[in-house]
Amino acid sequence: MAKDWCIGIIGGSGLYDIEGIEDEQWLMIDTPWGDPSDEILCGRIGDVKVRFLPRHGRGHPITPTDLNTRANIDALKRAGCTDILAISAVGSLREELQPGRFVAVEQFIDRTVHRPSTFFGNGFVAHVSMADPVCPRLSEMAAKAVTACKGKVATGATYLAMEGPQFSTRAESRMYQAWGADVIGMTAMPEAKLAREAELPYALLGMVTDYDCWRVDENGVGDSVDVAQVVAQMQENSQLAREAVVKFIEKLPKTRKASPIDTALDDAVITAPEEHDPAMMAKLDAVAGRILAGG
């Protein structure tokens, strides 16, 4: 069934606000999973409702490992979001993906180990498919928005999600290349998994800030990554990212056609009805409200 767009924007490192939002209001949304990273900026761009959340909080006080991603996704769902476009700083594992370039991510390799990665648990177990972890139509529209803003964008990238907060060793960086990863970051997992569990189509635009540490120069001296380098490139990328987000929203089709991801939970729940835990189900009122209500 068609419904109006309500776009959730998750701003990555260096992207703590969005320009062009009208009727704006910062709202704190309570969730059963705790507090999200920050208040959500609610408003509209043209006729499209927008909900913006700075992933690390304004001023970047929260580490990747300490992000309450369940609360972030739950809060965006409670705020009415139909789809999510995430922005993230990434390191490049490919020579042709130079700093300053954008990538539309298609696949993920999850190497995070310390983060809750599901909304579901004992008393209400569900297994969603992550074979195709991003929404292809959102990804295509996001990539076209970067191009329309005269940015360079690569598509079909594989993102390696590492735990952090330290950057990779050189051996790790080269291993991730051998695995087929194109870019590396610390935040897209379990974000993409949780968005799928919440039946929210998700796309990720990566902003390349550095070459990680796999490269060596003609003298055999290896690159390394430091915060100053990353921040400087983020500042260069952030204005284009803001422009691309606005262009993406302005170019959305007038009518939002239904996505298969809207019903991702239809065949995911495996727990027998007589074993359902009321306390667990109460926490899932936003994330799984559609199936809990028999929708």
What is the Cα gyration radius of the chain? 19
Q: Is residue 193 part of a domain?
A: yes
Q: Is residue 73 part of a domain?
A: no
| Contact (CB, 8 A) for 10 and 191 | yes
Phi and psi (nearest 5°) for 46? 65, -125
- Report the pLDDT value the prediction gives residue 230, as an integer from 0 to 100: 74
* Amino acid, res. 262: D
Q: Is residue 48 part of a domain?
A: no
- Report the pLDDT value the prediction gives residue 233, as an integer from 0 to 100: 80
- In the block, residue with structure tokens 């990680």: 212
Q: Is residue 128 part of a domain?
A: yes
What confidence tens digit (pLDDT) does each residue in 230-271 have? 778 877 788 899 999 999 999 999 999 999 999 999 999 999
| Contact (CB, 8 A) for 158 and 109 | yes
- Report the pLDDT value the prediction gives residue 6, as an integer from 0 to 100: 98
Domains of the chain: total: 1
Residues noted as catalytic = 210, 212
Three-class SS state of 6? strand
| Contact (CB, 8 A) for 35 and 71 | yes
Q: Is residue 219 part of a domain?
A: yes
- Report the pLDDT value the prediction gives residue 1, as an integer from 0 to 100: 56
- Report the pLDDT value the prediction gives residue 176, as an integer from 0 to 100: 98
Three-class SS state of 159? strand
Phi and psi (nearest 5°) for 153? -140, 135
pLDDT along the chain (295 residues), means of 10: 88 79 95 98 96 94 97 98 96 95 98 97 97 98 97 97 95 97 98 98 95 78 72 82 95 96 97 96 96 83
Q: Is residue 47 part of a domain?
A: no
Q: Is residue 198 part of a domain?
A: yes
Q: What is the CATH number of the domain that holds 256?
A: 3.40.50.1580
- Report the pLDDT value the prediction gives residue 237, as an integer from 0 to 100: 81
> CA 264 to CA 192: how far, in whole Å?
13
- Report the pLDDT value the prediction gives residue 262, as an integer from 0 to 100: 98
| Cα 63 → chain centroid | 15
Sequence-distant (6+) residues with CB within 8 A of 162 are 111, 112, 168, 172, 184, 185, 186
Domain of residue 197 covers: 85-292
DSSP symbols for 70-137: HHHHHHHHHTT-SEEEEEEEEEESSTTS-TT-EEEEEEEEE---SS---S-BTTB-B----SS-S-HH
The secondary element (H helix, E strand) that includes residue 44 is strand 40-45
Q: Is residue 22 part of a domain?
A: no
